[in-house]
Structure 1
């Protein structure tokens, strides 16, 4: 069995911090276990994508937002998922900056 190395990122970004973790795992749908989180160190989580468990209402791929409902999110590969997450963070950061 080949050894899989995780994709990891943890860094400050406008409006907070981003943590990205993903690793190949054939026990998860689409072959990846992942969690992506955008949060502010003082006020908490703002956005999270994950496939931590199969949810009866949301399926495997989840999108959690601080002010809103958790939703199912489509998964089209890990690169596209990371890009979508980062684009959503950019939009949230712009909104946070313009509302100050």
Structure 2
């Protein structure tokens, strides 16, 4: 899992690349927790996520809950096609409340 951190005008952003699965969630969890300690707002750019499984979805849900518990914000952005599919399959779109942008087939932004 590749994780690239950058600052935005409103907080931190982590761009995730690769598989967000049971094999990578420990690493991503640590980075998300660290970023939420540093900033009141965190955006996860999911455009580079090639695959997501149940563990990846659980990580995103836990991060959202932890941020809210601490009075902070965690937003998902630039969802890849596999992330959109997983969120829709599990009916989690409303849980996260972030807009889902559907790109043309084969089109990564």
Instruction: Flag the structure with more relative contact order, 1 or 2, with Cα contacts below 8 A and sequence separation at least 6.
Output: 2
TM-score scaled by structure 2? Answer: 0.29
TM-score scaled by structure 1? Answer: 0.31
- Name whichever structure is richer in helix by fraction: 2
- Highest CA radius of gyration, 1 or 2? 1
